[in-house]
Chains A and B, each alone.
Chain A
Amino acid sequence: MMKTKTKTLNQENNELDKWLTKENNVVMIDMICYLRVANISEYNQEVVRQDLLQMVLSAQERGEDIKTLIGGDYKSFCDEVIAALPQKSQKERVLDFIDTFLLSTSILGAIHIVISKETIALIHNAVTGQQLNFQMPISLGNLLSYAIILVTAFLIVHVIGRNSLKPEKKHNQSKPKSS
């Protein structure tokens, strides 16, 4: 149920995205990246995304940009937003992990099947009418590379997300310095 609601909202937001100006879109992408790796549910991520989109689009109609709307400090703004939302429970975190794990296993599994020697042999035998062998060895090396791919993918996502709103980024530099 929640999954369907999240998906519908995600599609609606993707449509709204198209109305953003180029400058606002750049900031928006960075903020959403930052929210994606925060400890809040996917549904809340989309709710916030919808709110932000509607806010920015209204601001665009008034002739304002995202900087006037939020102030230059997008990271603090996102931290405030994250703090105001319910944090994911341990159970939700485990379920999310299993969800991602199963999805990536099926994708990598499918890729493994498609590119393996055995599949080519199987098709060849099926065409020439020879005996079919449905067995496929999975080596320790296969499992190891699978684990490496998963961990690397996870790290890349988190590094990008965490650093998407670093203060030294271009769109924050024009912020007036106050100390």
Chain B
Amino acid sequence: MIPSQMLKGILEGCILKVISSKETYGYEISQQLQKYGFSDISEGTVYPLLLRLEKNNLITAEYRESALGPKRKYFSITPTGKKNWRHSERIGKSSIML
């Protein structure tokens, strides 16, 4: 699924939240988002957003061997990413109150 511009923004915030709670990889992020209720989210939907977050220095990525099969790209949040997430969380909370 290719998300709309607005959904993309929301998804980016959610991805940041997932990564900020623990270092993780693409497939796990998509699984987590499905648990949050985004039904049609695959790893392919998440990947361009991860690239964008990485370009904007909000997250960093690193390849590591996984226990079974192919290598995995693990993402972790940067200090800038943390600041940004807290900011968007505040906006999120205030918009819920409205």
A positions within 8 Å CB-CB of B? 16, 48, 50-51, 53-55, 57-59, 61, 68-71, 73, 76-77, 80-81, 83-86
B7 CB, min distance to chain A CBs, angstroms: 13
B positions within 8 Å CB-CB of A? 1-2, 26-27, 42-45, 47-49, 51-52, 55, 63, 68-73
CA distance A140 to B17 in the complex (A): 64
B72 CB contacts on chain A under 8 angstroms: 54, 58
Q: Does B70 lie within 8 Å of A57, measured CB to CB?
A: yes
B70 CB contacts on chain A under 8 angstroms: 16, 53-54, 57-58, 61
A86 CB contacts on chain B under 8 angstroms: 55
Please tell me which one of the listed residues A50, A51, A73 contacts residue B47 in the complex, with CB atoms under 8 A apart. A51
B42 CB contacts on chain A under 8 angstroms: 68-71
Q: Does B68 lie within 8 Å of A55, measured CB to CB?
A: no
Please tell me which one of the listed residues B27, B51, B69 contacts residue A84 in the complex, with CB atoms under 8 A apart. B51
Please tell me which one of the listed residues B52, B68, B73 contacts residue A51 in the complex, with CB atoms under 8 A apart. B73
Contacts A51-B73, A61-B70, A71-B2 given; indicate if A84 touches B52 (C-beta within 8 A). Answer: yes
CA distance A103 to B6 in the complex (A): 45
Query: For B49, B51, B69, which residue has the most chain A Cβ atoms within 10 angstroms?
Result: B51
CA distance A77 to B1 in the complex (A): 9
Q: Does A57 lie within 8 Å of B48, measured CB to CB?
A: no
Contacts A54-B72, A58-B27 given; indicate if A80 touches B43 (C-beta within 8 A). Answer: no
CA distance A51 to B46 in the complex (A): 12
CA distance A13 to B73 in the complex (A): 15
A55 CB contacts on chain B under 8 angstroms: 26-27, 43-44, 47
